[in-house]
Each structure stands twice: as C-alpha cells, then as structure tokens.
Structure 1
C-alpha cells in the first residue's frame, strides 16, 4: 500500500502550518488556498490531528490552528498515524496469512520494508522539511511570483 491522499495532504498541511503559524494561528481557509486542498477535507484531517494532540485550534476572529509542539519534535510518522493512515507493504496486513493462511515466501521482505519506511518517517521532522533549501526556494517563488530566476536564494 502506498501513502494515500489523506496522508500526503496531512503532511502538506502540517508543513504549511509549521511555516505559516509561527506568530499567529493559521486559518484552514488560508491553508486550503495556499495548498489547493479542499476546505472540507482539511477540516476532517485537522479534527483528527487535534484529537491526536498535534495541533490546537483558536476560535474567533484571528483564529485558526497552531502546532501544539515544536516542529522539531513532530515527525512524519506522528502525522500519518494521527490521520489513521497505515503504511503496510504486506498483502496480509501483517497477519502472516498471505497464501492459504500461511505467510508467503517474501513476507519477511515486506515486513522489513515496513520497518524501514516507519523508521524513515520517524526520523523526519516538520523542522527538517521547512529548513530544506528546496522547500525554502518553493516558498520564495510562491511569495515572489514576479521575481526573476537569478534573484532566487542560492541552493
């Protein structure tokens, strides 16, 4: 199974939140506009993210969402897990009943791959993503749509 839209959008929205809510809460409407994700879909995702303790909501004028933890302590696996996403490469869901209620010959390969993917997702934090040069370039280009190529930040 590959990461679904739910998991991808949750990560994208949380990266956006890490970038855009440092001083003030970020309204979902703004995240929706910036990332081209439907507002109703974001509402569903953020309900789960809030229930999992990753974000907090601020009501009223000037309200929106804030990260509940420092971006350096929020990893991608936390986000994926919060929105009920499972990363499982086995066909049997880890039950070892791939073929006639027994593990297939390559079951160990897929379970090892699951471990590697989970380990990788656990190692990457929101901070790691927001500090990447390529992400910084994307932010710069979005904020300065009319800036010429040679004025971009250096990689």
Structure 2
C-alpha cells in the first residue's frame, strides 16, 4: 500500500489553503512557492478538487481558490478520494483476482487494512490539522521564509 505523490500533494495543498484562507482567495502560485509543488501539477489537482466541490475558484485580480466548505467539514479522505488516489493495500486493486484470477489467502487482510486506512483518514479534517501546533510552526516558518517577517497563517491564535 502506498499513498502516491498525487494524494500527498493534494492534501498538502488543501492544508495550505485552509491555513491561509483568512486572507481571502489563495493563488496556486503562492501554494506552489510555499510547498514546492509545481504550478502545473497544482492546476491538475485543483481541477479535480473543484470538480468534486471541495474548492471554489475565484477569478480576476486577487483571485485564487478557497475551500467550498468549512475546514472542519473536509476530511483528508475526501481530498485523497477527489484526486482518484487509491489507498488500496491489495495487489489486485480490490478486484479479487490476486492469484491466477482468484482471491489470494491474504486478500481480505489487505482489503481490511485499506478500509481501516480510509476510515482513519475520514476521521481527520483539515481543521484538525490546522489546529496542530507542529503544523502551525511549519506554516509560520514557510511564511517567514517567503515574506521576511509577516506571519500569514490563519488560526494561529
């Protein structure tokens, strides 16, 4: 089982968006700069996130993206699912044809693990992550590096 770059980057970008949402729409260029994710990759991810109604696009000067719901209503699993990322731990992608077209002896074990991972990530919201002190510290460091002195992270108390 592996969470690929697509899922990791989508969660990272959505968390960045949640952390900076109090300042208004957040540009993908700003997320790209802070998180070290290419702008073209972010555009692809946000196209999927927008299609799944997790973000809203704001056009024009000062435009960007914002969450379509409160951060407390967006789970990490929703973000991963939106970018079509599989958290499937089976080697057959859940099809049950692991061993010569039949279910292998460990298929149900790995399927149960996949379910547990999805359930775990469903129980964590962007707001939960924003509230974590370690995440706030990293956010502050990223914003300081970018802007010299200004702290931009929202919800830093």
TM above 0.5: yes
Query: What residue in structure 2 maps to residue 106 of structure 1?
Result: 106
Structure 2 stretches lacking a partner, 5+ long: 150-157
Cα distance in 2 for residues equivalent to 1:35 and 1:60: 23
Which gives a bigger RCO, structure 1 or 2 (Cα 8 Å, sep 6+)?
2
Match in the other structure for 2:127? 127
Counterpart CA distance in 1 for 2:115 and 2:143 is 38
Contact 2:56 2:67 in 1 (8 A): yes
Secondary structure in 1 matching 2:65: strand
SS in 2 for 1:22: helix
Find the counterpart in structure 1 of residue 38 from structure 2: 38
> What TM-score comes out, normalization by structure 2 length?
0.89
Question: What does residue 139 of structure 1 align with?
Answer: 139
1:144 Cα shift? Answer: 4.0
Give the TM-score normalised by structure 1: 0.90
Describe the superposition over 1:109-150 as per-residue Cα deviations: whole angstroms up to 9, x where unpaired.
Answer: 101101100001100100011111111111233344589xxx
* Aligned counterpart, 1:77: 77
Q: For 1:15-41, what per-residue CA distance to the aligned partner results, in whole angstroms no more than 9, with x for missing partners?
A: 000011223100111111011110000
Measured in 1, the distance between the counterparts of 2:64 and 2:144 equals: 25
Counterpart Cα distance in 1 of 2:142 and 2:29: 17
Cross-structure match for 1:27: 27
Q: Aligned equivalents of 1:67 and 1:112: distance in 2?
A: 31
- Give the CA RMSD over aligned residues: 1.5
Larger radius of gyration: 1
Q: CA deviation at 1:98?
A: 1.0
Q: Which residue number corresponds to residue 49 of structure 1? A: 49
- Aligned counterparts of 1:38 and 1:144: Cα–Cα separation in 2: 21
Q: Secondary structure at the match of 1:124?
A: coil
